[in-house]
Amino acid sequence: MSYELRNTIEILITIVLPLLALYLKGGWPLRSAVISLLCLPALWYITYAPIHELSHVAGAYLVGGTVTEYKLIPRFWIGEFGRAWITTAGIPYDWHQLIMTSAPYLLDLLCLAISIRFLRPDLVTRPFLVGLAFLSFCLRPAFDLVCETVAFVLNDKGDFYHLSRLSEILITWSFILFSLGLATFSIVIVLNRYRHSTASEPSPAT
């Protein structure tokens, strides 16, 4: 299976289908749901790679390293799905490398925890904002984790491969399974919270 096809399937499973489920279950006006379903995946697509790579950048500077080269945005205008990257220098110790490499996934766990605590109908009601929060705090981390796990299983030398070289393989797999479990839990709990929600956009003033 090509990287592009694999990436498309991952996007469909972790981004498109959960968003569709949210709006089908939420009971919002059809117009609001359609607009959100058209806009939000595109917004995710152009922001996902920069967020991921800038997390690595933050981790690198946190441990005293520097970034010598970077590519934050895939050339999606020519059909390039992924392959953003950074090159670092001045990170001589394994535990420094570990922090830099794991930084995006620590951000993922923080986002998932925020979604479980705060993403509920009494706090977020407008359909676009609900979808944006669901995308940002649940689905973006879920895609990040699923994408890297699949790459790891297929022996692609991505972040999880490097984490396994910096720590024990058992620790890496424990982190992967815990993270995927938390991502799944967050998606399910948020969808259940908004199931047949009565939340809707405010009516125009009369």
| Position 198, amino acid | T
Distance, CA of 87 to CA of 66 (rounded, Å): 9
Residues of the chain with pLDDT under 50: 199-206
pLDDT at 205: 42
pLDDT at 65: 96
pLDDT at 194: 95
pLDDT at 79: 61
pLDDT at 84: 84
List the one residue out of 88, 51, 58 whose CA is nearest residue 72.
Answer: 51
First vs last Cα of the chain: how many Å apart? 57
On the CB side of 178, CA atoms within 13 Å amount to: 11
What global pTM score does this model have? 0.90
pLDDT at 199: 46
Domain chopping of the chain, boundaries: 3-193
On the CB side of 159, CA atoms within 13 Å amount to: 25
Annotate 29-86 with three-state secondary structure.
Answer: CHHHHHHHHHHHHHHHHHHHHHHHHHHHHHHHHHCCCEEEEEECCCCHHHCCCCCCEE
Distance, CA of 5 to CA of 18 (rounded, Å): 19
